[in-house]
Structures are given as C-alpha cells and as structure tokens.
C-alpha cells in the first residue's frame, strides 16, 4: 500500500514536472540525489560525535543534513547559475521532465521511508515496518549509486545505514 502511494506521488510529480522542463527537473533530481547521499554518509559520524543516548538523534541528523545540503545547493544554484534558454524539442523536454520527475518522486518517497525508519517507531507501527523497509530501498539505492560514482569502496545497504533494522529483522524472523 505504501509503495502504491509512493508511485502515485511520483506520477503526480512527473505530471507537474512536464510543465517545468527537463533541465530544472534534472538539476533538482541531481541535487536531491546528492543531498540524500550526503545525509546518509554524514548522519552516522555526526550521531557518534554527539554524546547522547537519545534514540531520535540519528533520524534528526539524517534529516537536518540532507535537507540542509539540498537547500544549500538550491540556494547556490539559484544565486550563481544563469537561466539559460536551451531550446529542446517540446516532446523531448516534456518526456524527459516526466521521467526525471518520476525518478525524483521515487527518491523522495524512499528517503522519507528511510528517515522514518531512522526514528524509533511505536509498537502499533509494526505492520508498516516491512513496507517501510521495502520502500526505503529507493532512498538507499540513490545513496548507493552516488557512492559508486564517487568511488566509495564499502557497500551501502539499509542495514549499514540503520543498524537497528537488522536487529529488528532477526527478532521478528522477517527477511
């Protein structure tokens, strides 16, 4: 059900992106991917640097870093980049914007699921946890792709980002 909601939101974003054009949507998609990868890469070290046993700290670090990096990138891009009028064929512009809008929606939905898994969920949310784990793969795959392009040598998996997930699966007996 959660995966269908993410796909529906992604389709809506793809539809809205068609009116914006491929280049702004592509830049937002790349900024989002870099922000997710930066959040995933720096949330753990920042969490370890703060001497606290607060279970909400890792999720807060993940959100603050990723959102901060995205806003910084958007601010710098809007301040320093000139608006260029690149004339692409209308069909290519709209289709490319729809594709990248859809991918951006999947990344956003996956990151929201990943961030919600970083926070301790109440007991009544145990039915939703497998759906969150499945849907968080979109956010993890984004970080994995950026890490592979950057030459990162250790693998990026959901269990390496949020170690509590592996312990929860072992306790439930779920895969």
Q: For the residues 38-43, what does the mean pLDDT come to?
A: 91
What is the average pLDDT score of the chain? 86
Q: For the residues 63-89, what does the mean pLDDT come to?
A: 86
The predicted-structure confidence for 137-146, as pLDDT tens digits, reads as follows 888 888 888 8
Answer yes or no: is pLDDT of 94 > 90: yes
E strand or H helix at 21: none
User: What pLDDT shows up at residue 84?
Assistant: 65
Residues 6+ apart with CB under 8 A from 82: none
Is there a contact between 92 and 22 (Cβ–Cβ < 8 Å)? yes
Task: Give Cα separations from 154 to 13, 41, 111, 150 (angstroms).
Answer: 33, 11, 20, 11
Residues 6+ apart with CB under 8 A from 162: 58, 114, 117, 118
Can you read off the two tokens belonging to residue 30? 């790349």
Phi-psi category of residue 167: left, alpha or beta, with phi > 0 → left and psi -120 to 50 → alpha: alpha
User: What pLDDT shows up at residue 81?
Assistant: 75
CA–CA distance, 50 with 38 (Å, rounded to integer)? 18
E strand or H helix at 135: helix 129-135
Q: If you compute the radius of gyration of the chain from its CA atoms, what whole number of angstroms results?
A: 18
Tokens 């970083």 map to which residue? Answer: 118
Answer yes or no: is pLDDT of 95 > 80: yes
Q: At what angle do helices 22-49 and 90-118 cross, to 10 degrees?
A: 20
CA–CA distance, 105 with 28 (Å, rounded to integer)? 11
Q: For the residues 55-68, what does the mean pLDDT come to?
A: 93
Residues 6+ apart with CB under 8 A from 169: 175
- This prediction has a pTM of 0.86
Domain borders along the chain are 2-172
């Amino acid at each position: 059900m959660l995966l269908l909601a993410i796909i529906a939101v992604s389709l809506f974003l793809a539809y809205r992106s068609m009116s914006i054009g491929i280049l702004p949507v592509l830049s937002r998609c790349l900024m989002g991917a870099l922000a997710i990868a930066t959040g995933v890469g720096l949330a753990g070290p920042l969490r370890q640097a703060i001497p606290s046993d607060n279970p909400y700290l890792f999720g807060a670090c993940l959100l603050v870093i990723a959102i901060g990096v995205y806003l910084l990138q958007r601010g710098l891009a809007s301040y320093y980049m000139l608006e260029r009028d690149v004339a692409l064929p209308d069909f290519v512009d709209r289709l490319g914007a729809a594709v990248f809008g859809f991918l951006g929606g999947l990344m956003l939905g996956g990151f929201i699921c990943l961030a919600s898994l970083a926070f301790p969920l109440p007991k009544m949310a145990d039915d939703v946890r497998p759906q969150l784990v499945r849907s968080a793969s979109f956010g993890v795959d984004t970080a994995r792709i950026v890490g592979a392009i950057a030459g990162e040598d250790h693998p990026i998996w959901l269990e390496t980002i949020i170690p509590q997930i592996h312990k929860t699966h072992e306790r439930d007996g779920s895969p």
